[in-house]
Amino acid sequence: APVRAPSRPSVQISAALRARAAAKLRFLRPIPRVNGWSRPLHIYQFASWADFLILAVTTFGIFIPFLHVDWQLSAYVVIGGLFLFHLVTNLIAATIDPAEANVRYKKNYLDLLPTFDRSKHEHVIQNQYCHLCEVTVSETAKHCSACNKCVTDFDHHCKWLNNCIGSRNYWFFFSSVTSASVGLVCVLAVQLYFFIRFLIDSHGLLKDAGLLVFQDSKMWPLFLPYFPVLVNTGVILFILVASVVLVIGNIIMIGHLLVFHLYLMSKRLSTFEYITQKRKKQQPKRKGGKKGSSLRMEEGAAQQ
Ligand SMILES: [Zn+2]
Ligand SMILES: [Zn+2]
């Protein structure tokens, strides 16, 4: 054993390097992604988790305890219920594999896909056969270039969930967007109540919340009632302004998404059909167009 020992590290290093090179190659060549948890993860996923966490901590830990004592319990139950419902539907939408049944039940589902050769086939899907997944697919399936697989009733590829949205997870996606919109409006109402009373009548605010014992012109308590932390008035004002800005930004983005999907439902369209129709209207006579973009479109690159 002492004689062999020196050669071991180099063997280990080269094995590690080989593994890393193989992993890199796997990333470069298309392998179907199962759901939102398949690698590569998307930076937007981390952003949305951070956003959710910041809103939960500030809402339940900082602002709700300052509501009138009679409103606190209902606020915890209603807003807490909305946050929980959003979290659960969001996780389900990210976890469901939206792929076509024929793709999911394929024996070699997670193997490398063949490279698409335009000289052999004009379209990725022809006569309901996908040349990349190598299975028969349904009429409304699209091959998603981010997920590398065919998705049933393809709607769009969601970067926030890092997963495709198709008929298998559409209602979870829609419920998560709806609960987020309603929850955000409630959070904004709580924040604005605090903001206005904090500025014009902080004594009354503390009195109504049953927190007069904390009255001090320079310090303000956070994380009541169990983990009180006293901070400067400037700090609470900064947290308040920052979280109001965050919530308004969220409401604009998610509210817009909700209105857009309500509009699509009223027109009985998917996001993909909407984008395809819009593009057709925009360039009615330009035949062929850019090959790259038409291929991406065909593969269902509608992303949000
Ligand atoms: Zn396919
Ligand atoms: Zn996708």
Per-residue pLDDT tens digits of the chain, which is 304 residues long: 444 444 455 556 677 776 666 555 544 557 899 999 998 899 999 999 999 999 999 999 999 999 999 999 999 999 999 999 999 999 999 999 999 999 999 887 877 777 777 777 888 899 999 998 999 999 999 999 899 999 999 999 999 999 999 999 999 999 999 999 999 999 999 999 999 999 999 999 999 999 888 888 788 899 988 888 999 989 999 999 999 999 999 999 999 999 999 999 999 999 999 999 999 888 765 554 444 444 454 555 555 5
Cα(301) to centroid(ligand 2), Å: 8
User: Residue 131 CA: which ligand is closest?
Assistant: 1
Cα(303) to centroid(ligand 2), Å: 8
Q: Could you tell me the residue ranges of all domains in the chain?
A: 27-271
Residue with tokens 């320079």: 218
Q: How far apart are CA 194 and CA 224, in angstroms?
A: 14
User: Residue 100 CA: which ligand is closest?
Assistant: 1
pTM higher than 0.85: no
Active site (annotated) includes residue 158: yes
Cα(235) to centroid(ligand 2), Å: 42
Q: Of 147, 158, 164, 186, which one is the catalytic site residue?
A: 158
Cα(88) to centroid(ligand 1), Å: 29
User: Residue 134 CA: which ligand is closest?
Assistant: 1
With beta carbons less than 8 A apart as the criterion, state whether 182 and 82 touch. yes
Cα(272) to centroid(ligand 2), Å: 12
Query: Residue 30 has what pLDDT?
Result: 75
Q: How far apart are CA 272 and CA 278, in angstroms?
A: 10
Q: How far apart are CA 148 and CA 163, in angstroms?
A: 11
Beta bridge partners of 222: 229
Distances (CA, A) of 240 to 115, 192, 200: 52, 9, 15
Q: How far apart are CA 96 and CA 37, in angstroms?
A: 10
